[in-house]
């Protein structure tokens, strides 16, 4: 209750700051770091550097240097996100009982 309000009155509801659920978005809740780690584990740095030809994957690659570059470079981040989604579809397709 706010000061000076009648006890029978209710304070206005605060706008919700909780993120909306995105059940159809496979990237929802996945960090960029998790994507890079999963891609590196699946493809390895050499293949990752061939699929997404950026220096952070080709020359002395590391997760931290990749994250720094990808956070500053929207077009490269989009390529990484697309490759991550492709990898997930490929894994689902190849899983036993997959489509």
- 67: confidence class by pLDDT, cuts 50, 70, 90: very high
CATH number at residue 62: 1.10.720.30
Is the pLDDT assigned to residue 79 strictly greater than 90? yes
Per-residue pLDDT tens over the stretch 14-58: 555 556 677 788 888 899 999 999 999 999 999 999 999 999 999
Rounded Cα gap, residues 70 and 62, in angstroms:
12
Instruction: Count the domains in the chain.
Output: 1
pTM for this prediction: 0.73
Which domain range does residue 76 map to? 40-93
Q: Which residue in the block uniquely carries the two structure tokens 């700051």?
A: 17
In a domain, 68, yes or no: yes
Give the residue from 89, 30, 82, 92 showing the smallest Cα distance to 51: 82
């Amino acid at each position: 209750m706010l000061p000076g309000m009648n006890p029978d009155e209710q304070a206005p509801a605060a706008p919700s700051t909780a993120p909306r659920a995105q059940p159809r978005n496979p990237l929802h809740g996945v960090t960029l770091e998790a994507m890079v780690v999963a891609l590196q584990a699946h493809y390895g740095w050499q293949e990752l550097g061939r699929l997404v030809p950026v220096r952070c994957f080709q020359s002395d690659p590391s997760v931290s240097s990749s994250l720094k570059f990808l956070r500053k470079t929207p077009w490269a981040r989009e390529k990484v996100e697309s490759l991550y989604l492709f990898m997930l579809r490929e894994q689902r397709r190849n899983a036993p009982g997959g489509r």
